[in-house]
Amino acid sequence: MEAAAGGGCGSGPPLLLSEGEQQCYSELFARCAGAAGGGPVSGPPEAGRAVPGAVTAAAGTVADLFRASQLPAETLHQITELCGAKRVGYFGPTQFYIALKLIAAAQSGLPVRIESIKCELPLPRFMMSKTDAEIRFGNPAELHGPKAQIPYSVTEKNTFKRMDDEDKQQETQSPTMSPLASPPSSPPHYQRVPLSHGYSKLRSSTEQMHPAPYEARQPLVQPEGPSSGAPGAKPPRHQASLIRSFSVEREPHDNSSNYPEEPWRITEEQREYYINQFRSLQPDPSSFISGSVAKNFFTKSKLSIPELSYIWELSDADCDGALTLPEFCAAFHLIVARKNGYPLPEGLPPTLQPEYLQAAFPKPKRECTLFDSYSESMPANQQPRDLNRMEKLSIKDMADFPVPAQDVTSDDKQEQNKARLALKSTVDEALPKDMSEDPATSKDSNSLKARPRSRSYSSTSIEEAMKRGEDPPTPPPRPQKTHSRASSLDLNKVFQPSVPATKSGLLPPPPALPPRPCPSQSEQASEAEIHPQLNRAPSQAADSSPTKKDTPYSQPPSKPIRRKFRPENSATENQEPSSTVGGPASAATGKPHTAVQKQSSKQKKAIQTAIRKNKEANAVLARLNSELQQQLKEVHQERIALENQLEQLRPVTVL
Amino acid sequence: SRASSAVLARDNYPLYIRSSPTENELKFHYMVHTSLDVVDEKISAMGKALVDQRELYLGLLYPTEDHKIKYGYVTNSKVKFVMVVDSSNTALRDNEIRSMFRKLHSSYTDVMCNPFYNPGDRIQSRRAFDSMVTSMMVQVC
């Protein structure tokens, strides 16, 4: 029995399980194994060990399950050791069942020892997110405890088709040995029927479970078959709730199909995701992605180059070096599968063939047109809830983007983030793929959207700022340019002050910012300054990235200054940008106050939007101010000296 | 009987070498190497601007005492294919060899289309390429 049990899994004490126990355990095992990364591959992909021919439960899922039993950690450790999983290194059916029995024993208060499991025990209880599960688990125990027990090996074999051929023979035995009232017809038969029923349930709940243990899941369905009185009624509910609890407590894999042995079938959501990704690389869904673009994209998935090359070989059916949409979906799907631990197939599976995919996905055209119709919105076929989510996100992003100071640099980051998100969602093993895909997708498209949106937003504000800047400058000394200092003195100097500001770490000062940003004492001015400052920054950043701040400080600021206040520029303007900055800085304080007030109302709006950044800017500006004051003094002295010289020279020339 | 194929890069280093019975691979390496001289000679003899496929096929390179017959083929990008077949199989006709080279060439271009393949890399057991070559050689044997 033991040798037969577990098809080569490690040795363990012989177990006799009751009918209810065996059902329950097999369901649990199926669930754990289902969460694993594929049938033939043991548990998590990182586990280097593959147990050929045996189904194993993912250690992570098993650990979760055990924790759900609410036993103390040491008990769980003991159990794990006892059941032999530590010894063999993985949770095969044998180990798993023993562990479950031990958990039941521990929960009943028995010491955790092999002997404990020899006696009849209630089923182990696991606290799941769905309370139903707990109840369900508890129920069969009472019903099946006293019933006759089926040899463990037989049940186990019945459970796992992947075991040896003995399975088939033994399967026929088990039903007859079932203590339940109406013995099911031959197991394959009833397995098939409830299988489809189960699958319809699965599909209706829009789950995508792992395909590999679909066969293992047949025992899940078994309870429906034997329709004895109470147990018969409960198991179907049990299974249904189990399935629901599946979906609730752990978002099932998304990377596989609803069909057995068909991990290569692309689901609806996956397809949408792939299409979105395709669009991000190539706006026209009906054309193709070039090889290099695809290479860069797929390289981000961090698979090895030979694997990626292999995947490409599989998916580029026409070997033209470019991927059409179905080819892209197939490739992406293969990558996703590979990331989740699936071995790559020898040939392109039929469900990934381009013709199949194309036939199955007639939508892309529709999506395309809808996409065009929305300027920046999601693809039409996005689920409504995604739509809501995305809109929410987009609105939030909108709010975040009014001051897109680092817009230029953030673009790249966003792209990386997007790609990272894209891959993270694919890489997320098993569980939350389904759910995360949506947020990821929505985030992706959102970031996609947001990016252009932010750009447009910022650009309009920049334009606004530019305009505002431009207008005032033309009339000469209108100090109202919002420079409290401003005005009479060179606007150049006005702008210059911001140079030191940037030095201190602000973005390229608003020198560009028209008059508004008075980098000086008036808070209002400074706030306004910050805003236009930051708005301007992107436009300037395009030319002179913030990194250039330090060195060509004088230059970028002086350029706009000159541009804006041409008439203002006088001789002394450009002598020392920094010194000139100091000049207007303090001198302008008194005069343009009234002028400033005029503009302050205009500025209030701008100020309000930039209020957030105020604190930093204020501190910086205060420092700047003091520096500038100093410079102003120096400049004054220079000026005086120069004037003196001039006067001295004058009489000479006159003569 | 034996058959071997080799793909050599423009600079005459091997991108792919495969013998159908895998023993004697080293000897085959040596043979390919020696045949390179002949190939180069033929290429230079052909002159310039030869893009006709006929000229791509170099024909019998030189007989050896080991009863091996070598055929050469060079692409427009100076990638060379060399095939060695056992002379015992005299049923092989020129056309068959040409068709084999054509298949090699098309498989090679498929490999090149893969963006993950850097020209100059060894052709690492490409699912398509390798299987095609081995099946082809098996036919010859």
The token pair that represents A133 in the structure block: 């599960």
Give pLDDT, residue A644: 93
Give pLDDT, residue A178: 40
Say if residue A647's pLDDT is above 80: yes
Chain A: closest CA distance from residue B20 (Å): 21
Give pLDDT, residue A591: 55
Residue from the list B113, B116, B124 with its beta carbon closest to the beta carbon of A319: B113
Residues of chain B neighbouring A298 (CB-CB closer than 8 A): 116
* Nearest chain B alpha carbon to A293: B115
Give pLDDT, residue A223: 41
With cut-offs at 50, 70 and 90, classify the pLDDT of residue B61. Answer: low
Give pLDDT, residue A340: 83
Largest CA distance in chain A: 132
Give pLDDT, residue B20: 77
Say if residue A99's pLDDT is above 90: no
Residues of chain A neighbouring B116 (CB-CB closer than 8 A): 295, 298, 305, 308-309, 312
Task: Give the mean pLDDT of A282-300.
Answer: 80
With cut-offs at 50, 70 and 90, classify the pLDDT of residue A56. Answer: low
What distance in Å separates the CA atoms of residue A247 and residue A220, rounded to the nearest whole number? 15
Give pLDDT, residue A637: 95
The token pair that represents A305 in the structure block: 């180059």
The token pair that represents A550 in the structure block: 């330090």
User: Does the distance separating the beta carbons of A316 and B114 come in below 8 Å?
Assistant: yes
Edge to edge, the sheet with strand B68-74 lists B14-19, B3-8, B80-86, B68-74, B57-63
Give pLDDT, residue A18: 75
Q: Does the ipTM surpass 0.85? A: no
- Percent of chain A whose predicted confidence (pLDDT) is above 70: 31
Give pLDDT, residue A437: 43
Give pLDDT, residue B89: 58
Give pLDDT, residue A625: 92
CB environment A63-99: b (16+ within 10 A), e (fewer): ebbbebbebeeebbebbbebbbbeebbbbbbbbbbbb
Surface-to-core class of residue A573, CB atoms within 10 Å of its CB (0-12 exposed, 13-18 middle, 19+ buried):
buried
Residues of chain B neighbouring A319 (CB-CB closer than 8 A): 109-110, 113
User: Does the distance separating the beta carbons of A291 and B113 come in below 8 Å?
Assistant: yes
Closest CA to A587 of A641, A646, A628, A536: A628
User: Does the distance separating the beta carbons of A295 and B116 come in below 8 Å?
Assistant: yes
Q: Tell me the range of A256-265, A350-359, A401-410 where mean pLDDT is highest.
A: A350-359
Give pLDDT, residue B109: 85
Question: CB contact, 8 Å: A309 with chain B?
Answer: yes
CA distances, A471 to each of A35, A353, A459, A514, A543 (Å): 65, 62, 18, 9, 22
Question: CB contact, 8 Å: B128 with chain A?
Answer: yes
Give pLDDT, residue A120: 63
With cut-offs at 50, 70 and 90, classify the pLDDT of residue A629. Answer: very high
Give pLDDT, residue A642: 94
Chain B: closest CA distance from residue A68 (Å): 45
Mutation target vs B (from A310, A338, A348; most B CBs, 10 A cutoff): A310
Tell me the per-residue pLDDT of B72-111, one tens digit each, with 9 for 90 and over.
777 777 788 888 777 665 656 777 888 888 888 888 888 8
What distance in Å separates the CA atoms of residue A119 and residue A624, rounded to the nearest whole number? 82
Indicate the DSSP class of residue B114.
Answer: -
With cut-offs at 50, 70 and 90, classify the pLDDT of residue A624. Answer: very high
Beta strands A289-290 and A322-323: pairing type? antiparallel
Residues of chain A neighbouring B109 (CB-CB closer than 8 A): 319
Largest CA distance in chain B: 42
What distance in Å separates the CA atoms of residue A278 and residue A437, rounded to the nearest whole number? 15
Give pLDDT, residue A100: 78
User: Does the distance separating the beta carbons of A320 and B114 come in below 8 Å?
Assistant: no
Cβ A36 vs Cβ A42: under 8 Å? yes
Q: Which residue has the higher pLDDT, A73 or A634?
A: A634
With cut-offs at 50, 70 and 90, classify the pLDDT of residue A402. Answer: very low
Task: Give the mean pLDDT of A453-470.
Answer: 45
Chain A: closest CA distance from residue B113 (Å): 4
Give pLDDT, residue A593: 62
Question: CB contact, 8 Å: B13 with chain A?
Answer: no
* Nearest chain A alpha carbon to B126: A310
User: Does the distance separating the beta carbons of B114 and A291 come in below 8 Å?
Assistant: yes
Cβ B8 vs Cβ B70: under 8 Å? no
**Ranges A259-273, A471-485, A563-577, B114-128: which has the least confidence:** A563-577
CA distances, A164 to each of A52, A156, A176, A186, B48 (Å): 12, 11, 20, 18, 66
Tell me the per-residue pLDDT of A215-240, one tens digit each, with 9 for 90 and over.
444 444 444 434 444 444 444 444 44
Cβ B114 vs Cβ A321: under 8 Å? yes
What distance in Å separates the CA atoms of residue B117 and residue A302, rounded to the nearest whole number? 16
- Percent of chain B whose predicted confidence (pLDDT) is above 70: 73
Q: Kindly list the structural domains of chain B, giving each domain's residue range(s) and its CATH number in brackets, ordered by start.
A: 3-140 (3.30.450.70)
Across-strand partners of B18?
B5
Question: CB contact, 8 Å: A312 with chain B?
Answer: yes
Q: Tell me the range of A110-119, A177-186, A445-454, B32-41 where mean pLDDT is highest.
A: B32-41
What distance in Å separates the CA atoms of residue A93 and residue A121, rounded to the nearest whole number? 19
How many Cα atoms occupy the beta-carbon half-sphere of A606 within 13 Å?
Answer: 33
What distance in Å separates the CA atoms of residue B5 and residue B85, rounded to the nearest whole number? 9
Say if residue A249's pLDDT is above 50: no
Give pLDDT, residue B65: 59
Cα dihedral A81, A85, A88, A90, rounded to 10, equals -150
Instruction: Report chain A's mean pLDDT, rounded to a whole number.
Output: 58
Question: CB contact, 8 Å: B76 with chain A?
Answer: no
Say if residue A451's pLDDT is above 60: no
With cut-offs at 50, 70 and 90, classify the pLDDT of residue A15. Answer: low
CA distances, A450 to each of A34, A377, A446, A453 (Å): 38, 10, 6, 5
* Nearest chain B alpha carbon to A305: B116
Across-strand partners of B86?
B68
